[in-house]
Amino acid sequence: MRKLVMVIIGLGLGLILISQNANADADIVLLDDNFNSENGGNPYQPNYPNFQNWDVVSGGVDLCGPEYYSYHGMPSWVGLYVDLDGGTTEGGILKSKTNFALLHGKYELKFGIKGSNNLDPSDTDIVVVSLGSVYNETFTLPYNYPFTTITRNINIPSSTTGYLIFDHSSGNDWIGPLLDNVKLIKTNPVPEPSLMVLLGISVMSLAGLKRWWKD
């Protein structure tokens, strides 16, 4: 009986600790925004100011949708999206409302971006994408740059905070780069050796329970 109790305790502890480690190692989604719920899902809204997850801190941006797919050359599956050079004389800066707590570890930033589709072949748009002090990249987009999902892996050596910013303040022609499907996650690390040890304990406990049942 004592052997059975020890086997059951070992099995229970192993399963509990594995569960806790699995939950701790799950991906953490900090932001996932496709803009489809903005404005009640109703485009078109020029100089849109009321984003759920963003502030327009300079210039203007437009909320666009299906009626502009052809004009912008957007694929039909994108839903709503943002024109970063809205109906003002100044391109927009889109800044996350959240100042993200960025703990030590690995992160993945993804977003879809496209050139303006302006019929002027000389038109080139610049977008500066930044996440606090840990990431900063300048994208120079020709007018015919296709809708592309950009993925960046960011390693943060020590905990910090930061806003996510899409800066097109250089724009001034009322038709700018197009943005959609922004996602920021803290990625799942490789399982630690301790987790594998716990799994081994549970397997051994199951084997012991099986032997006890046969006996």
Taking only the tens place, the pLDDT of each residue in 34-70 is 999 999 988 889 999 999 999 999 999 999 999 999 9
Rounded CA-CA distance 186/29 in Å is: 6
Query: How far is the CA of 42 from the CAs of 23, 65, 80, 186, 192, in angstroms?
Result: 37, 8, 8, 31, 46
The reported pLDDT for the residue numbered 185 is 98
Assigned CATH topology for domain 28-186: Jelly Rolls (2.60.120)
Could you give the 3-state DSSP secondary structure of residue 162? strand
Q: pTM value?
A: 0.78
- Residues 6 or more apart in contact with residue 204 via CB below 8 angstroms: 10
Taking only the tens place, the pLDDT of each residue in 149-200 is 999 999 999 999 999 999 999 877 778 899 999 999 999 865 555 444 444 5
